């Protein structure tokens, strides 16, 4: 299928919707109804959402209209938002796109969902994803794959592929995703939108169905950098229900957006990018270089840096993340919640009925990618292999973090404010292209996993297009808790990179 032509840059933003609802130029009910109608018309084409909350959303919109004067200062007043299906919303389906959680409706809500509602947002539905966020294409979903609005035969990325597709296809102006190894940034790059992974500890993980607890982070996918800044200001902050969230000042992120980058130093790991080992597509590299030129035009200074241990990031990640997953997913046993595969009350199979129920439930409930990662993680943690694999991976993880610390250090290092690289080594690939080659899929995370291993913030912003019209993303990695600088740089790129606000032409839907 031929990729979609680029459409206009007129897609609504969260900021414009909020301002229109605040002033009464538009009613929240009209806005919400418009997006619900778009979902009803387009979701069959993109398979972006797994559940739609039409009645609840319209009821919420009507309440906002009634209380508009009272709630005028709420930063997301009347903004429709989708939430990834690994983030709990009270009483609403939350399945992690897995058969093992079919029908699960949590009795509690994630902190991020609560903060969005308090900010005036309207949750219109849950978005499709790779099962338990384990994947890079949204093909590992019990609901089937999502599709890229630029080309239906290609992946929107993963694991937050449905979230990215919902924004790119204008089914919602904002989506909330999770990022364990690039699951916000890679789909954002593939779909030509903005995706932000905050610093580990910046946003509460309470209510997130855990994949790898030392790597997971929640963040926004948006049409613009300004919207990402607006949403981060709502999500960020200490949460006593999440012991990993940090008591750190929350900046006024929108105030940091000046449209220029004067005085900022951007590190470029040229040896990593130009060695040939990263497998970067020529058109992706060309778009990346143009984005570097745009940052210079906006006032930034480019500095060559070295990240000597970056080449080990993928193998380290695929030891650490599966190890944590094997522990986190042990709770899905068919006893307390979710699906259960019962057995006859006998021991003819040579095992106890309860252990057989565990085995059958997990075998039927988990998909092949989740099983693969559980087995990898269990092996890495097993007696006799722990030191050789998991412990060694954690040591190299520390070296990767030290490389970034040196790059950011003004006294003994390069003193850069951010590190730039392509978000992905290639544009969106075709559905099914890597499904039987998990290693090829894993290698696509070469530029994104380091930010999770180090806990640093990272953003993907549109950086141009290939000759076929497929989007390319620029990734910027920053100092811990310095999202303001990343957003400023991203805003400068958005202001100077040609076509950064282009969206797929949906006229033929």
Given the residues 178, 183, 426, 495, the one annotated as active site? 183
Q: What is the pLDDT of residues 235-278, one digit of tens each?
A: 999 999 999 999 999 999 999 999 999 999 999 999 999 876 67
Given the residues 141, 159, 245, 495, the one annotated as active site? 159
Question: Is the separation of the CB atoms in 104 and 132 below 8 Å?
Answer: no
Q: What angle do CA 457, 461, 462 make, to 5 degrees?
A: 165
Confidence of residue 164 (pLDDT cuts 50, 70, 90): very high
Residue 159 appears among annotated catalytic residues: yes
Residue 371 appears among annotated catalytic residues: no
* pLDDT, position 349: 53
Q: What is the pLDDT of residues 271-312, one digit of tens each?
A: 999 876 678 999 999 999 999 999 999 999 999 999 999 999
Task: Calculate the alpha carbon distances from 265 to 252, 300, 414 in Å.
Answer: 22, 6, 9
Given the residues 84, 146, 166, 426, the one annotated as active site? 84
Confidence of residue 328 (pLDDT cuts 50, 70, 90): very high
SS3 content of the chain, % helix, strand, coil (to 5): 40, 15, 45
Query: Mind listing the domains of the chain with CATH numbers?
Result: 14-260+423-496 (3.90.1300.10)
Please say if the pLDDT value at position 186 is more than 90: yes
Residue 154 per-residue DSSP state = B
Closest CA to 48 of 116, 104, 97, 110: 97
Residue 166 appears among annotated catalytic residues: no
């Amino acid at each position: 299928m031929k990729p979609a032509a680029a459409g206009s840059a007129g897609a609504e933003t969260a900021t414009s919707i909020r301002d229109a609802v605040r002033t009464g130029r538009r009613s929240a009910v009209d806005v919400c109804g418009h997006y619900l109608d778009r979902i009803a018309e387009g979701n069959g084409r993109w398979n972006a959402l797994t559940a739609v909350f039409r009645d609840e959303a319209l009821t919420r919109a009507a309440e906002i209209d009634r209380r508009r004067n009272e709630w005028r200062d709420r930063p997301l007043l009347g903004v429709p938002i989708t939430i990834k299906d690994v983030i709990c919303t009270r009483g609403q389906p939350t399945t992690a796109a897995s058969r093992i959680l079919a029908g699960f409706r949590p009795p509690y809500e994630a902190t991020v969902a609560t903060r969005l509602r308090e900010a005036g947002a309207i949750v219109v539905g849950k978005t499709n994803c790779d099962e338990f966020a384990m994947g890079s294409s949204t093909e590992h979903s019990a609901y089937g794959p999502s599709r890229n609005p630029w080309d239906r035969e290609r992946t929107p990325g993963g694991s937050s592929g449905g979230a990215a597709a919902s924004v790119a296809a204008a089914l919602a102006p904002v989506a909330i995703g999770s990022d364990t190894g690039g699951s916000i940034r890679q789909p954002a790059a593939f779909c030509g939108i903005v995706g932000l992974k905050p610093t580990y500890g910046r946003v509460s993980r309470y209510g997130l169905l855990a994949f790898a607890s030392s790597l997971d982070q929640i963040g926004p996918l948006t049409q613009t950098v300004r919207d990402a800044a607006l949403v981060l200001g709502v999500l960020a902050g200490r949460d006593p229900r999440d012991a990993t969230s940090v008591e750190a000042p929350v900046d006024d992120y929108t105030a940091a957006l000046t449209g220029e980058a004067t005085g900022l130093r951007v590190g470029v790991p040229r040896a990593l990018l130009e060695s040939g080992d990263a497998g970067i597509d020529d058109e992706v590299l060309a778009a990346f270089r143009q984005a570097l030129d745009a940052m210079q035009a906006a006032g930034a200074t480019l500095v060559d840096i070295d990240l000597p241990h970056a080449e080990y990031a993928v193998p380290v990640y695929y030891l650490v993340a599966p190890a944590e997953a094997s522990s986190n997913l042990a709770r899905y046993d068919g006893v307390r919640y979710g699906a259960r595969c019962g057995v006859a009350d006998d021991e003819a199979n040579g095992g106890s009925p309860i252990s057989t129920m565990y085995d059958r439930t997990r075998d039927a409930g988990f998909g092949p990618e989740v099983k693969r990662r559980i087995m990898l993680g269990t092996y890495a943690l097993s007696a006799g292999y722990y030191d050789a694999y998991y412990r060694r991976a954690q040591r190299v993880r520390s070296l990767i973090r030290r490389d970034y610390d040196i790059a950011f250090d003004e006294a003994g290092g390069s003193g850069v404010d951010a590190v730039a690289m392509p978000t992905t080594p290639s544009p969106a690939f075709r559905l099914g292209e890597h499904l039987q080659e998990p290693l090829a899929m894993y290698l696509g995370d070469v530029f994104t996993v380091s930010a999770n291993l180090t806990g640093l913030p990272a953003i993907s912003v549109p950086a141009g297009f290939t000759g076929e019209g497929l989007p390319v993303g620029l990734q910027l990695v920053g100092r811990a808790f310095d999202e303001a600088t990343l957003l400023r740089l991203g805003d400068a790129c958005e202001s100077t990179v040609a076509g950064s606000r282009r969206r797929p032409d949906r006229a033929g839907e």
